[in-house]
Amino acid sequence: MTREQDWQGEWSPNGQPLTRQFHRIVQRARALDRRRPWVWDTLLTGFYVTACLTDFLGDGWKNVTENLDTPAWLVGTMSLGFSVPLFWRRGHPFAVLLVMLPFAVTNVWTGAVLQASMTLFVVIFNIALRTRLRTLLWSFALASAPFWDLGFRYPGEEGPDATIVPVTMSLALCAVGGIAVRTRQEYLASLVDRARQLEVERDQQAQLAAAAERARIAREMHDIIGHNLSVITGLADGGSYAAAKSPQRAAQALEAIGTTSRQSLAELRRLLEVLREQAPTAELTPQPSLTDLDQLIAGVRSAGLPVRLTVHGRAAPVPDGTQLTVYRVIQEALTNTLKHAGPGATSQVSISYEDGGAVTVTVTDTGRGGPAPDGNPGRGLTGMRERTALYGGTLEAGPLPTGGWRIHLHLPTLPAPQDATPQEATSQEATSQEAAPQEAVPKEATQ
Q: Do 219 and 85 fall into the same domain?
A: no
Rounded to whole angstroms, how far apart are CA atoms 154 and 171? Answer: 20
Same domain, 242 and 180: no
Q: Domain range for residue 327? A: 202-446
**In sequence order, which residues have a C-beta less than 8 Å from that of residue 214 and are 6 or more positions away?**
none
pLDDT in tens, the chain (447 residues): 444 444 444 555 566 677 778 778 888 888 887 888 888 889 999 999 999 999 888 888 888 888 888 899 999 999 999 999 999 999 899 999 999 999 999 999 988 889 899 999 999 999 999 999 999 999 999 999 998 988 888 887 777 787 888 889 999 999 999 999 999 989 988 998 999 999 888 888 888 887 877 777 777 776 667 666 777 777 777 667 666 677 776 777 777 777 777 777 777 776 666 566 554 554 555 678 888 888 888 888 877 788 999 988 877 677 777 888 888 889 888 888 887 777 788 899 999 988 777 899 999 998 875 544 444 445 677 778 888 888 888 999 888 888 888 999 998 875 544 444 444 444 444 433 333 333 333 333 333
Q: Are residues 354 and 398 in the same domain?
A: yes
What 8-state DSSP symbol labels residue 316? P
pLDDT at position 290, please? 83
Q: Are residues 103 and 173 in the same domain?
A: yes
Distances (CA, A) of 433 to 188, 218, 430, 438: 39, 12, 5, 10
DSSP for 65-105 reads -S-TTS-HHHHHHHHHHHHGGGGGTTT-HHHHHHHHHHHHH
What one-character DSSP code corresponds to residue 315? P
The three-point CA angle 388-391-396 to 5° equals 30
Split into its structural domains, the chain has a count of: 2
Domain end (from 201, 221, 250): 201
User: Are 273 and 165 members of one domain?
Assistant: no
Per-residue model confidence (pLDDT) at position 283: 52
Identify the pLDDT of residue 407.
92
315 and 218 within one domain = yes
Nearest Cα neighbor of 355 from 314, 414, 411 is 314
Last residue of a domain, one of 201, 236, 266: 201
Residue 59: which region, alpha, beta or left (left: phi > 0; alpha: psi -120 to 50)? left
Supply the CATH number for residue 291's domain: 3.30.565.10
Domain termination residue (choose one: 157, 180, 201):
201
- Residues 191, 118: Cα–Cα separation, whole Å: 36
**Shared domain check, 433 and 421:** yes
Q: Are residues 101 and 119 in the same domain?
A: yes
- Is there a single domain that holds both residue 417 and residue 339? yes
Same domain, 389 and 306: yes
Residues 215, 262, single domain; the answer is yes
Whether residues 341 and 234 share a domain: the answer is yes
